[in-house]
Structure 1
């Protein structure tokens, strides 16, 4: 079943609603993904390039206290904090229904992205239907009842934002506001929210009252329709010339005259064109399958009593991605759902794991279109990152950014050196561009030529100039190393009673550089360009520090074997296992065993996104039962009743990471093989999926029974070779362009 009961969320690229389903006061939380505080500024620290030699010398000497102190004093941005994602405000719909409510149901149909709230009051059945239409760019809410003249309510807007205004006229309600000032920067994002009310019924009345907040009152209607549009003056980070009132007015004009059914059909056709590409069934539906979601996630016998909740969770992740990342901004730390001025961690684009985790599911689960906003963000960050490279590091080639960015595309190191002095985040971001090509390897692709390769080349140029050769008394093999370097947010230990993170040659940094240099050289070869540059990258690749196994048998996290191996959220040293593919248990048991040791030392986590990451890592180690354990924890312990992921507060990366983990348990396709059912647990005895994607340009439908493969249909979009593995046996196939091959268990025996 693809229906949620209780707290529900709907969204589209420009405007968002969280429909709380409350009585007598319904609250619709409104967001627009470009409402942020502050304004564009130049935060780069010009002292940093002069301080780098001293910083690096401290690192060589293992004087990490003074290294970090130098970075804090000379290299951090001004202001040292970035702006945050903010809310537009709320619409309140207040009724007089204060008595006994019965037959209450609040649900979201993932397949249609339509919410429905139904209830009975004083013998009348009420229905609220809501959706957020991407093609029409409006939020639509219909209130109806089974008795004439029963729809009566007052509607108002409210906002915590700066300089708000409210007005009501006829059947229209308008609110304006401005992003707040923050960290010394004045607010410069202006926004407008407009709602149009239409009613039906012979006794229906509409009254507008203009006062401090302004109200539209509907009374004695058979039905009321509310259409809401939101927009801002934002064109791009360096252009705020748009007229939000003009944009909103045009949006409402475009839908005026359309019926509810017209807008609903347009919305469903658009949503289902993406959502309907994939079907997932895990386990045989039971009576538990039809229970409200908050009960399903907390069944006494655990998820074993309701296997299909994992399918629901995965499809929910796809729904959230479609809802929060189309055409404008990529989903942020909270997707787009935020109702406060200053959310935890700023609800920014945190690019030392979280933004990347938001994107893991998109390729394998067939919603790659949701990555288009990420490509725009990276491209614009690279524009600003050229300045950062020059002003912060005195490097004139290429671009850089650090561990956070936002609406202003800031690229400088922020927060503190312990967290923010990490210029390798963009290498991780560009891994997604390589994967985008890997899932659809068309050498004629404009994406490859015009977007991915120029960005990868520019970043590789920066690192070519930024990396340094380690002194021979530090690294006798003459390695080229990243310095500064860290394993994001993880402390090495105390130096002068201060926890430090900065050193040289962290495992994640070397792994990211290996992938970037390899992939940039590969793309250069495909395009037939930059032979000498590609050869130099290959030479640099061979001089990076390889994986090291530490004293506890773990994948060593840094070039030096520091003793900080215990429980922690981040597991950055295992990037090479997942989402990278440099560690593979099929081909290197030694590194795979060391990765397993690292995971055991790291232990469980008490939050959603680290739990989802662990599920993906164990799936890559082909340990289905352990991956399943972490998925059960993610759903039962680290999810709210509506399955939003918990990281002390709602943080959406756990949802996206969990969806990715389920996909990895069912299908993997890295290192030249398509691996069927690589890590399914014993509890998933029966199952089927359709529309899953594999690298190489393949789409797969897979069916299994009794835990054993029944059939797998591979369809090739390009007509390429495929090596397919199941249960220890690999076979080679040639598939025609747009052709299909159906495999069964006998093909692997």
Structure 2
């Protein structure tokens, strides 16, 4: 294909992107969301407002709007609002660790060595609970406040109602008519200016509005004065309540403001009303106080800046900010738009239109709930209206918080990763105390199953739920470097990686066969030998997921240290330790063993499939390099079946994509979008958990582009000969696969860009722009009739790579930053 034709083709693609963007990013409804009733507030499983209202966010500050006719209800969230926990303790206590637990640690381990299963007094679980578990309250994420705007309108008189959210611009809208009068509203949450903004407009009519604020926390003061409604309060904590303030500025235009004695504001005779809202707590990510922000001063500064800028300019800056990120990566499947409202589209069931919208919308949710905040997105991202949310709306480290960040780099939203990094810095600081006090380890850091915004790193209160998570959390850290190739970032996070590895170097212990294993541990949330010991028999030793992640961590740490020219002796110690790690095992049914013994049941359909972490999000099982381990993975997938919760469905989408089965991956993605989506497209576990949205988008990326394999043999012409292989068969025990020591040359090995590795037959034609690949590359792909038509690879950093497509491996290709190459079929 000539250069001119290529240019024309890509120009046409950009035109298609521009013209289709709105149709593929807008959520539309012809009625308001349900009111947020007391029953819904108290029970997260009850459907209504949270499943129908539309979300706005700038990564820290969030809002949901209902579009109510008689009354608009905006739920306001701040990512730092936690309650019922502690902060401001001394450095050791703030970690939540059970101080001095290390003195009894070997006594606990003895229960494991003796095989004390079940839940009896001397069992592994009971001993772990008694001697290692934290007694400190974790607390839970909580709503900030509520903004209500009453209109006095009668819904029975309304015609032509419309409610929408454009995910490309981050602007929500409501419009309707009453007689000759026409009423419109706009809503957005600005990242550049850190405020929520609204505009109410009336044509051929005037508006009388009542504006009030409420919170479920302790109110210190609420007052309406001048143009302001200011709410000041405290969030209850076991120790050191969190101070907060919400400031609302109202510009009534030609209308009149009438402050009310109850702290609300009345707007009379207006045709255009603008509202600006700023909200902060006193939280700062400073261990162990987590305090210090002057929220009143920051609120005042934000409001004054927004008012000075003016609504139109504020919105213009906001739209440019959001659209610049949304336009980087867009999926365009070949379908005819139905014209349906989004709720009807979901109710109708599976469609390419819904699948396309879900992916683009998931990217919007990502940038809306994670950008420059001091902590990452939680189980519900940013949006929560419950004082007692499901699973504390916390940070679960056994997949959920990691899954929240799988898609940020592949889907070209690297900025969203920063809150995760800042949180990890706190965990490493806090986790050093947990490593020492709980496990007697004086180097590195440790973290358990549940986290909060106050540096909680201790072991869970239930011994059956004990685990280590530093290896999985660190996997996300290094993978971000793999995509960005940002050497300054690698320097920044290297101490965290090294600390995680140092902990495991000391924590790993020899088992009866002499191999090194992690224990106490579990295989997240699953149980074994249930008939013998009950459904709470969860604790074990050397679970497959732990062992896979330790190898992953040690390999990443070796590579990072090599690239930075650091810690040659430590690198060598990791290399010497890797061959001693417990092997991966294929069991009696031909499955990957989840447990150290062959305890797997072919009827076990548990939602967690943690022993396939090496398949995804890891990189060490692949159909192209480890066929026997992949065959065993397929048996495991067959055993676990197709019934899934939201996030589990998303993970299975990723698994099947990595297994290069596009139709099976699509089956799960289709189920996720059609059967695991609420009317506002929030994922449900059930109830709402946002990790399914993010995991589903990651699965789409995996279907269209994979880049986790490395070419260590530059002259090899087949991928089997070229790629680094992390496990090799044990010649003495052929069902065992031993960890491979990475040579330091792996640090410079080119990534292999596998184009359309799992393209579903249901997507015969389409295109995606702006996918990211490891090695520092941006990739646009067009496919026709199920085959690659053309791909463009753009280098965001100097680098080498190889292309793998339709069974063929290219030679090594080198690009300088800013250069690009077009690959056609």
Q: Structure 1 residue aligned with 2:410, among 350, 353, 364?
A: 364
Distance 1:499 1:8 in 2: 39
The aligned runs of 1:6-17 (5 Å cut-off) are 6=29, 7-17=53-63
Distance 1:241 1:113 in 2: 31
Map Cα deviations across residues 509-537 of structure 1 (whole Å, 9 max, x no partner): 00110011011111111111211111110
Q: Structure 2 residue aligned with 1:316, among 338, 361, 369?
A: 361
Superposed displacement of residue 417, structure 1: 1.5
1:461 and 2:499 matched: no
Q: Structure 2 residue aligned with 1:429, among 469, 473, 480?
A: 473
Residue matched to 2:623: 585
Residue matched to 2:5: none
1:596 and 2:637 matched: no
1:97 and 2:153 matched: yes
Distance 1:437 1:364 in 2: 12
Distance 1:526 1:373 in 2: 24
Q: Structure 2 residue aligned with 1:446, among 488, 508, 511?
A: 488
Residue matched to 1:326: 371
Map Cα deviations across residues 318-377 of structure 1 (whole Å, 9 max, x no partner): 101100001112111000100121211111111110000000000100001100000000
Residue matched to 2:515: 479
Map Cα deviations across residues 51-76 of structure 1 (whole Å, 9 max, x no partner): 22222222222222311110011110
1:538 and 2:575 matched: yes
Map Cα deviations across residues 151-177 of structure 1 (whole Å, 9 max, x no partner): 221011111112443111122111122
The answer (yes or no) to whether the contact 1:174–1:193 under 8 Å persists in 2 is: yes
Change beyond 3 A, Cα 1:641–1:387: same
CA RMSD of aligned residues (A): 1.4
Q: Structure 1 residue aligned with 2:106, among 25, 45, 53?
A: 53
Residue matched to 2:767: 688
Residue matched to 1:112: 169
Q: Does 230-239 or 392-401 show the bigger shift?
A: 230-239
The aligned runs of 1:652-663 (5 Å cut-off) are 652-663=690-701
Distance 1:385 1:462 in 2: 10
1:404 and 2:450 matched: yes
Superposed displacement of residue 493, structure 1: 3.1
1:488 and 2:535 matched: no
Task: Report the count of equivalent residues.
Answer: 720
Distance 1:314 1:562 in 2: 38
The answer (yes or no) to whether the contact 1:581–1:671 under 8 Å persists in 2 is: yes
Residue matched to 1:555: 592
Residue matched to 2:560: 523
Distance 2:600 2:774 in 1: 38
2:82 aligns to what SS in structure 1?
coil
The answer (yes or no) to whether the contact 2:337–2:353 under 8 Å persists in 1 is: no
Superposed displacement of residue 545, structure 1: 1.4
Distance 1:543 1:365 in 2: 37
Residue matched to 1:645: 683
Distance 1:716 1:590 in 2: 35
Residue matched to 1:262: 313
1:721 and 2:803 matched: no
1:636 and 2:678 matched: no
Distance 2:293 2:563 in 1: 40
The answer (yes or no) to whether the contact 1:48–1:71 under 8 Å persists in 2 is: no
TM-score, scaled to structure 1: 0.94
The aligned runs of 1:172-187 (5 Å cut-off) are 172-181=228-237, 185-187=238-240
1:190 aligns to what SS in structure 2?
strand
2:347 aligns to what SS in structure 1?
coil
Residue matched to 1:500: 537
Distance 1:156 1:730 in 2: 63
The answer (yes or no) to whether the contact 1:207–1:217 under 8 Å persists in 2 is: yes
1:742 and 2:742 matched: no
The answer (yes or no) to whether the contact 2:124–2:463 under 8 Å persists in 1 is: no
The answer (yes or no) to whether the contact 2:527–2:535 under 8 Å persists in 1 is: no
The answer (yes or no) to whether the contact 1:321–1:370 under 8 Å persists in 2 is: yes
Superposed displacement of residue 280, structure 1: 1.3
Residue matched to 1:157: 213
1:307 and 2:356 matched: no
TM-score, scaled to structure 2: 0.85
The answer (yes or no) to whether the contact 2:135–2:461 under 8 Å persists in 1 is: no
Distance 1:690 1:643 in 2: 23
1:250 and 2:301 matched: yes
The answer (yes or no) to whether the contact 2:111–2:127 under 8 Å persists in 1 is: no
Map Cα deviations across residues 631-651 of structure 1 (whole Å, 9 max, x no partner): 111011111011100012111
1:217 and 2:261 matched: no
Residue matched to 2:549: 512
Map Cα deviations across residues 532-552 of structure 1 (whole Å, 9 max, x no partner): 111110111111112111111
Gaps of 5+ in 1: none
Residue matched to 1:233: 282
The answer (yes or no) to whether the contact 1:232–1:244 under 8 Å persists in 2 is: yes
Distance 1:677 1:13 in 2: 32
Q: Does 137-146 or 3-12 show the bigger shift?
A: 3-12
Superposed displacement of residue 47, structure 1: 4.7
The answer (yes or no) to whether the contact 1:715–1:735 under 8 Å persists in 2 is: no
Distance 2:618 2:239 in 1: 41
1:256 aligns to what SS in structure 2?
helix
Map Cα deviations across residues 538-592 of structure 1 (whole Å, 9 max, x no partner): 1111111121111111110011111345111111001000000110011121111
The answer (yes or no) to whether the contact 1:667–1:675 under 8 Å persists in 2 is: yes
Map Cα deviations across residues 82-130 of structure 1 (whole Å, 9 max, x no partner): 1111111211111111132211111111111000111111221110100
Residue matched to 1:126: 183
Q: Does 192-201 or 94-103 show the bigger shift?
A: 94-103
Q: Structure 1 residue aligned with 2:324, among 273, 277, 285?
A: 273
Q: Does 255-264 or 689-698 show the bigger shift?
A: 255-264
Distance 1:506 1:295 in 2: 44
Superposed displacement of residue 441, structure 1: 2.6
Distance 2:575 2:407 in 1: 30
Distance 2:671 2:455 in 1: 35
Distance 1:385 1:358 in 2: 21
Gaps of 5+ in 2: 1-22, 30-52, 711-751
Distance 2:239 2:477 in 1: 35
Distance 1:356 1:226 in 2: 36
Distance 1:274 1:602 in 2: 37
Distance 1:499 1:298 in 2: 37
